[in-house]
Amino acid sequence: MRVQVTGIEGVSEGWKQYLSTCPAACIYHDERWKEVIEKTFGHHCHYLAAISNGRVRGVLPLVEMRSALFGHFMVSLPFVTYGGLAADDDDARSALTAAAIRLAQQTKSGYIELRQRADAALSWACRKHKVALVVNLPTAAEQAWAALSSRLRGKVRKAQRSGAAFQALGPEAAAEFYRVFARNMRDVGTPVYPLDFFRNIGRTFSEETYIFLVRQAGNTVAAAFGLRDCERLQLPWICSDYRYTRNYFNEFLYWSVIEWACGRGFRQVDLGRSTAGGGNHRFKKQWNPQEIILPWYYWTADGGGPPQLNPDNPRFSLPIRLWRRLPLAVTNLLGPRIVRSIP
């Protein structure tokens, strides 16, 4: 059966219908991310669809990025948790990857990175350095609470005794979320996204966006940005103010979101991806999640190995240490200009 690859123009309705039935697809394959990324960062997005007999049989969103430091490359999908291709069969998968390679060659991109949630059976180089942690929710929050360690439950109770209060809001709380997020990113040595990124997500995905806040004595001390993805609650960004670590507000935030999701019909809470074996990975394991090793596939123009654009690369250790020492006003000004070129 002949498979053709086309851009999303003209097949938008078919794309939407395909995502509603494809098990490999998630909210990050939604075509609306194209608008968010182009509006926020100015990158050129290529949304490819595999078509056969007038029906969409696979999709692959790609974002073309250019950087003086990191070169010219394509990622599916930068800035968010997952991406990659979603396809019905080998024919659609092969047609999409072949089209992606042709596009990379035409644009003189150095490499393609596909951030898959599951094995895509590709012959490309593959790294498995990231892990997703997904909490499968019981029907009642009491069951989830009972499954936690007594030590973790004690931390949540300490936060409650310290005056922690939880609230679930919508996109209107983006600025309050961002105040905690920007400080948290500075403290871990990572350039921060612009506030407009989260505002644009909230405007574009207004029905799917939740912002969770933890306040104490009038101050927001922990926050999370959530997205409804069918029966799964995605938490791509979770942050806390490290000045209050001893109060365990971060633990209180995680538990409060899990409890909230249990009461609203969600079947899973996706805590996002972490570097395997890292501190963030170990923290999330406390919540009894299912751990999913994520295969990231790479095609390189020169046939070499995958790029090493991650904080664990020794070449970034000095810049990270210096970034942590900068005033927050400086990192908030410079961060958005830098991070637009970091996938």
Using the predicted structure, report yes or no on whether residue 255 has a pLDDT greater than 80: yes
Q: In whole angstroms, what is the distance from residue 15 CA to residue 11 CA?
A: 6
Task: Say if 318 falls within a structural domain.
Answer: no
CB 343 within 8 A of CB 309: yes
Same domain? For 93 and 196 the reply is: no
Same domain? For 116 and 145 the reply is: no
Q: What is the DSSP string of 203-246?
A: HHTTTTEEEEEEEETTEEEEEEEEEEETTEEEEEEEEE-GGGGG
**CATH number of domain containing 253:** 3.40.630.30
Same domain? For 161 and 123 the reply is: no
Task: Answer yes or no: pTM beyond 0.85.
Answer: yes
CB 126 within 8 A of CB 81: no
Which residue range forms the structural domain that includes residue 234? 138-266
Using the predicted structure, report yes or no on whether residue 339 has a pLDDT greater than 80: yes
Task: Specify the pLDDT at position 269.
Answer: 98
CB 40 within 8 A of CB 203: no
Task: Say if 314 falls within a structural domain.
Answer: no
Same domain? For 94 and 177 the reply is: no
Task: Say if 86 falls within a structural domain.
Answer: yes
Please tell me which of 45-54, 249-258, 331-340 the model is most confident about, judged by mean pLDDT.
249-258
Task: Say if 153 falls within a structural domain.
Answer: yes
Same domain? For 91 and 150 the reply is: no
Number of compact structural domains in the chain: 2
Task: Say if 343 falls within a structural domain.
Answer: no
Task: Say if 194 falls within a structural domain.
Answer: yes
Same domain? For 207 and 124 the reply is: no
Same domain? For 61 and 112 the reply is: yes
Using the predicted structure, report yes or no on whether residue 248 has a pLDDT greater than 60: yes
Task: Say if 317 falls within a structural domain.
Answer: no
Radius of gyration of the chain (CA): 20
Task: Specify the pLDDT at position 312.
Answer: 61
pLDDT in tens, 179-229: 999 999 999 999 999 999 999 999 999 999 999 999 999 999 999 999 999
Of the candidates 97, 128, 100, the one whose C-alpha atom is nearest the C-alpha of residue 115 is 128
Same domain? For 106 and 167 the reply is: no
Using the predicted structure, report yes or no on whether residue 1 has a pLDDT greater than 70: no
Same domain? For 143 and 255 the reply is: yes
Same domain? For 214 and 165 the reply is: yes
Task: Specify the pLDDT at position 310.
Answer: 63
Higher-pLDDT residue of 316, 158: 158
Q: In whole angstroms, what is the distance from residue 133 CA to residue 73 CA?
A: 28
Using pLDDT thresholds of 50, 70 and 90, give the confidence band for residue 70. Answer: confident
Same domain? For 248 and 152 the reply is: yes
Same domain? For 79 and 162 the reply is: no
pLDDT in tens, 278-310: 999 999 999 999 999 999 999 999 888 777 766
Task: Say if 330 falls within a structural domain.
Answer: no
